[in-house]
Structure 1
Amino acid sequence: MNDVTIIICNYNYERFLADAIDSALAQDYAATRVVVIDDGSTDDSREVIGRFGSRISAVFKENGGQVSAYNRAVELLETKYAILLDSDDVLYPSAVSEVMRAFDGGDYGKVQFRLDVLGSAGELTGSHVPHSDPPLDCANLLHRGWLYPSPPASGNAYRVSALQRIFPVPETEENRYGADFYAIYGVALLGAVASIRKSLGGYRVHNTTEPGASFANSEDLSKAPKAFAARWTILRNIARSRLGVELPQEFHDFAYEKARFSSRVYQAPLATRWHWMMRESRSYFHSIIANPFWSLKKKLGTVVFSGLCLLPYRPLSDYAVRYIANPLARHRVAAR
């Protein structure tokens, strides 16, 4: 039986941290180690970690951001496989067992699984991520510039030897967050990706000033597109220098394009919305129409919903943007 490490990277999430640690300790796979890396929290996270005693290994470091925490995590890994669990997310008890059965079935660099989308209190919302499954050969897609469908950080298990070829990632003031981007797409250049088509954990959506149109827990609409582009550039440099792989200069990804779409159209006047549609929408619609993962029905539906932003009635336009940008918004709107 191969040992597996669940590493929980935490910063100021004392209100969620115990749930994450409990879920890691509750795994029905006996050979599971749990490590918590605290990235210089200023809340009561250290006290929460202390309550678990010797059942976990704890590492306390100065604050450096998520990239710094991931670099430390990969440096510490001694097992063959690992899951990097965000401290506001949870794993279901069979997650590691099912992941290891998948790893045993092939020579994979990564095994990914669905995550149920949870509200801030941990309640189920009825949605899950991702909505599409990638092919085994995600490297071929990346060579063409397509970012394949993946769950957020907590929905991925990695072969550690592959992670160690991607990390450490450069630590700069501009590159503090989004460390899972390098793990998710970098490891796929080194091995096939297996997908488990069931939810094995929960992804908590919270900490947003405008939940309906939010892009992620940590990035607002204006920052996300720029951050994505910068990460792709860094990944290209890592792929070239460490793997001898040349990735295209530009990438295609609907998550990236919908962030740009939302930042330009959401709560914007009619003239701005029309200007975006006529002058700036080419790459957005390319990420829909040429999307290799979507059905024709999904493509048509997204195009039609996007077109609602051209209507004079702004509340309808904003509803369409929320619906496209954030699956959780669909359930919130329906519940009103």
Structure 2
Amino acid sequence: MKDVTIVICNYNYERFITQAIDSALGQDYPATRVVVIDDGSTDGSRSIIASYGSRIKSVFKENGGQVSAYNTAVEIVETDYAILLDSDDLLYPTAVSEVMRAFNAGDYTKVQFRLDVIGSEGELTGTHVPHSEPPADCGSLLRRGWLYPSPPASGNAYRVSALREIFPVPQSSVNRYGADFYAIYGVALLGPVATISKSLGAYRVHNASAPSVSFANSESLTKAPKALNMRWATLKQIARSRLNVELPASFHDFSHEKAHFCSGVYNAPLAARWHWMTRESHGYLHSIVANPFWGVKKKVGTLVLSSLCLLPYAPLSDYAVRYIANPLARRRVAAR
């Protein structure tokens, strides 16, 4: 039986860290190790982590951001496989067993699985991420600039040797976060990716009670596109210097273009919506029409919903944007 490490990276999440650690310790796969890296927390996290004693390996470091924590994780992991679990998320008991079953079935660099979306109190929201699945050879599409559908950080298990081809990632004042971007997309350049089409864990969304156009917990809509462009440029440098792979200058990603779409039309006057849709929507429309991971039905549905932004009735336009941007908004409509 091959050993697997669940690495939990934590910063000031004393409210959730116990549940994350317990979910890692509760795996039904006997050869599971648990490492917790605390990135300079100033709340009560460190005392909670220390209370687990020898049941886990604890690493207490100065605050350096998520990239720094991932660099440390990849350096110290002693097993051939690892899951990098965010400290506000959790894994279901069979997660490692099912991941290792997938790894043993092929020469994969990454195995990804769905995550149920939960609210801040752990309540199920009725939706999951991601909603699309990539082909095993998504690396070939990545080389053409297409970012493939992937769950957030906690829904990915990696071959550690592949991670070490990508990490350490350069650290700087502007590159402290988004470390999972480099892991998720970097390892796909090194081999095939397997997808498990069931939920093996939960992704916590802290604004679930009042869903708007913002779904993820990271950057705001205005900051996200700039951050993603910077990460792509960094990954491009890593791919060229370490892997001898030349990535294109720009990338294609619906989530990225969706942020531009929301910023341009949400809560905007009719004239501004028309201006954006007719003058600035090329990248957004291309990410729908040419999307290699979507079927015709999904493409047509998204185009129809997007066109509602051209109607003069603002509440309908804003509803369409929320529906496109945030899976939680869709579930609320369905529950009525």
TM-score interval for Structure 1 and Structure 2 normalised by the shorter chain:
over 0.9
Unaligned stretches of 5+ residues in structure 2: none
**Residue identity matched to 1:223:** K
What is the deviation of 1:18?
A: 0.8
- Aligned to 1:202, what secondary structure does the other structure show? strand
Q: How does 1:244-323 map to 2 (within 5 A)?
A: 244-323=244-323
Q: How does 1:178-197 map to 2 (within 5 A)?
A: 178-197=178-197
State the partner residue of 1:328: 328
Question: Does residue 1:12 correspond to 2:12, yes or no?
Answer: yes
State the partner residue of 1:54: 54
- Aligned to 1:15, what secondary structure does the other structure show? coil
**Residue identity matched to 1:104:** N
After superposition, the C-alpha distances for 1:203-257 in whole angstroms (9 at most, x for unaligned) are 1111589732114102111111111111111000000000000011111110111
After superposition, the C-alpha distances for 1:51-82 in whole angstroms (9 at most, x for unaligned) are 22211111111111111110111111110000
Conserved 8 A contact 2:207-2:215: no
Structure 1 residues 119 and 208: CA distance shift in structure 2, 3 A: closer
**Residue identity matched to 2:269:** P
Q: How many residues align?
A: 336
What is the deviation of 1:332?
A: 3.2
State the partner residue of 1:32: 32
| Cα distance in 2, alignment partners of residues 177 and 27 from structure 1 | 28
Structure 1 residues 209 and 101: CA distance shift in structure 2, 3 A: closer
- Aligned to 1:212, what secondary structure does the other structure show? coil
What is the deviation of 1:50?
A: 2.1
Taking only aligned residues, the RMSD between alpha carbons, in angstroms, comes to 1.3
What is the deviation of 1:132?
A: 1.2
What is the deviation of 1:314?
A: 1.6
State the partner residue of 1:176: 176
Q: How does 1:124-135 map to 2 (within 5 A)?
A: 124-135=124-135
Q: How does 1:230-249 map to 2 (within 5 A)?
A: 230-249=230-249
**Residue identity matched to 2:195:** S
Question: Does residue 1:86 correspond to 2:86, yes or no?
Answer: yes
| Cα distance in 2, alignment partners of residues 109 and 91 from structure 1 | 20
| Cα distance in 2, alignment partners of residues 176 and 315 from structure 1 | 38
4+ aligned runs moved over 3 Å, structure 1: 207-211, 332-336
Identity over aligned residues, as a percent? Answer: 76
After superposition, the C-alpha distances for 1:21-56 in whole angstroms (9 at most, x for unaligned) are 110000000000001111111111112212222111
Conserved 8 A contact 1:109-1:190: yes
- Aligned to 1:88, what secondary structure does the other structure show? coil
| Cα distance in 1, alignment partners of residues 116 and 213 from structure 2 | 19
TM-score by length of 1: 0.97
